[in-house]
Amino acid sequence: MDFTFKNAHIYNNGAFKIKDFTAKLNDTDPSAGSLSAFNNICVLPAFCDVHVHFREPGFFYKETIRTGSLSAARGGYTDVCTMPNLKPVPDSVDNIKEQLGIIEKTAEIRVHPYASITKGEMGQELVDFDALSPYCIAFSDDGRGVQSEAMMRSAMIKAKELGKIIAAHCEDNSLLNGGYIHKGEYAEKHGHKGISSESEWRQIERDLKLAKETGCKYHVCHISTAESVELIRKAKAEGVDVTCETGPHYLVLSDKDLREDGRFKMNPPLRSERDRLALIEGIKDGTIDMIATDHAPHSLEEKSKGLEKSLMGVVGLETAFPVLYTCLVKEEIISLEKLVELMSVNPRKRFGIEKTEDVCVFALDSEYTVNPDEFMTMGRSTPFAGMGVYGKNLITVCGGKTVWQIK
């Protein structure tokens, strides 16, 4: 059945035009009548997230490719890139083919797997880049920083030969301060030791020199510190082929928002207000190229052990757009056009993911409270639970098929 949204704001090549938009609905609810109740309809190019964890194969009790892809569809995404901390790690052709087989059978959207940089993500031996290159979107040891400078240099040389991206989780193990949790005035009130900012930016500094030396396409995952922003800004000015991402939680929250709850535990941790404001400036001036969720579901038990002992990671695919629209666009920090660039245009361009006719249809005036019980993901842990937001996704279309419509 078809439904026409009258006078919708439709994004096209960097600008919005007002015109009618017709969507093909599935033969289930909602009825045309329920859709007609929504106002201020905005049709956006479907989003692309270059950093998610779907946990299958190996950890399907946290998330499956099917549930992760349904979560992405509900959030307005039709392309996601899955990180390699799986079991087995996609460090060989056989292992990555196992993951691709599950994707082919169960994914509701397009899922692009990473291969690891080193075997088992152990940092000791490079994978066979030549063999894996046709099957992966890029190479990453996400969750672990590559500690050896020589190992990272060799990886970048191989990636350069193949035209592939090295996407780095930057964390210097020698600077972890003996503990995980956040470091700073507010964190210390919780009595937790922390991952210092330097553990992130020091390894970025090393890798930027290697990227300049090798000419590799280098991408920095989930930056969280002011120093990281400045290092990448300077490297871009020097012509280094570098891009970077940050996450919604780093742009909206800081360590003053911490609570004694596992839903506030992620890696990198929430930083200071100074760092948050530096990230805002980074997205404004183009230093930060894209926003990725680092969607990382865990079981209820794993996230119910408090701030110190819960596993690291929060879910984010279903909250990213409404949180960013509410906190950045409605507050006139950035434009809606800029947010589309960060969530859709730039990630596809950098990672060579084909531009499509996929769309998501949001009712921008629709106000509601984030309720994890309504999520499609198996994960429920989000720092945005209970937050009032604007922007409800009504429909997501992937490859001409409606993969999400509001119930």
Angle, helices 149-162/197-214, rounded to nearest 10 degrees: 50
Of the residues 91, 255, 294, 358, which is catalytic? 294
Q: Is 79 one of the annotated active-site residues of the chain?
A: no
Q: Identify whether the C-beta of residue 125 lies closer than 8 Å to the C-beta of residue 98.
A: no
Q: Are 10 and 16 in contact (CB under 8 A)?
A: yes
Q: What is the 3-state secondary structure (H, E, C) of the chain?
A: CEEEEEEEEEEECCEEEEEEEEEECCCCCCCHHHHCCCCCEEEEECEEEEEECCCCCCCCCCCCHHHHHHHHHHHCEEEEEECCCCCCCCCCHHHHHHHHHHHHHHCCCEEEECECCEHHHCCCCECCHHHHHHHCCCECCCCCCCCCHHHHHHHHHHHHHHCCEEEECCCCHHHCCCCCCCCCHHHHHCCCCCCCHHHHHHHHHHHHHHHHHHCCEEEECCCCCHHHHHHHHHHHHCCCCEEEEECHHHHHCCHHHCCCCHHHCCCCCCCCHHHHHHHHHHHHHCCCCEECCCECCCCCCCCCCHHHHCCCCCCCCCCHHHHHHHHHHCCCCCCHHHHHHHHHHHHHHHHCCCCCCCEEEEEEEEEEECCHHHCCCCCCCCCCCCCEEEEEEEEEEECCEEEEECC
Q: How far is residue 158's CA from residue 107's CA, in Å, rounded to a whole number?
A: 30
Does residue 379 contact residue 7 with C-beta atoms inside 8 Å?
no
Q: Give catalytic residue positions.
A: 294
